[in-house]
Amino acid sequence: MVGKRGLLVILVFFEGFFYARSQAVVGVNYGAMADNLPEPSATARLLASTTISRLRLYTPDAALMSAVAAGAPNVSLLVGVPNSDVPVLASSPSAALSYASANLLPFLPSLSAVSVGNEALSQDPSSLDPSLLLPAMENLLAALPSPSSVKISTVHSMAILAQSDPPSSGAFHPELAGTLDPILAFLSRTGAPLMINPYPWFAYSADPTPKP
């Protein structure tokens, strides 16, 4: 049965997701939690037949990444590092280099960005120490060839906001400042984007009242 992430969910990714331009592009999230996924080569052919130019993977997938690089070279990849792998990357630069060499470096021509962890600041601290996030990002950046156009970031949930309604009053949770501020400084220094998992349909369905 197809899982929650088992479908290609079409999203609009603004070009600023990877680098600044004034146009929008179309991308998809590719979830692997299903038992009827197409073959990697079929996925690549499908992507190549459309205007889709961004593909997000929640975990490194060598077969799919190779297929996309060969069959859909115009598609850029955003590859996620699972939360379970963050402590490994944070442990040492050499560990991050080994991880990058096995999972990322072979696909550099197609790789646009790497998300270290997924909604890590909103997880139970007992499952992932939030203080490991920035060292993992720094070590992974150091593992990339220099100079590199690949951006290193992390994806947050909307839960990092103390207030989001109305949108003009949005603010981060003050208690996250000690962890989030250095991450924001890293993103600013490296030119990487702040990544958020928005779920606008759920927000709208819960409260369809127009907001100022």
Q: Is the pLDDT score of 37 beyond 60? A: yes
- Among 22-26, 112-116, 121-125, the minimum mean pLDDT is found in 22-26
Q: Is the pLDDT score of 203 beyond 90? A: no
Name which residue leads in pLDDT, 124 or 104: 104
- Write down the mean pLDDT value for the chain: 86
pLDDT band at 164 (very low <50, low <70, confident <90, very high): confident
SS3 26: strand
**What residues contact residue 201 under an 8 Å CB cut-off, 6+ apart?**
none
Please give the average per-residue pLDDT across 30-48, as a whole number: 92
**pLDDT at residue 211, as a whole number:** 66
d(CA 136, CA 129): 11
pTM of the model: 0.83
d(CA 75, CA 135): 29
Q: Is the pLDDT score of 11 beyond 60? A: no
**What residues contact residue 16 under an 8 Å CB cut-off, 6+ apart?**
193
Query: Which element (helix H / strand E) includes 210?
Result: none
Q: Domains in the chain and their CATH numbers? A: 9-206 (3.20.20.80)
Using one digit for the tens of pLDDT, what is the confidence trace for 78-110?
999 999 999 999 999 999 999 999 999 999 989
**pLDDT at residue 124, as a whole number:** 77
Q: Is the pLDDT score of 21 beyond 90? A: no
As a whole-number percent, the residues of the chain with pLDDT over 70 amount to 88
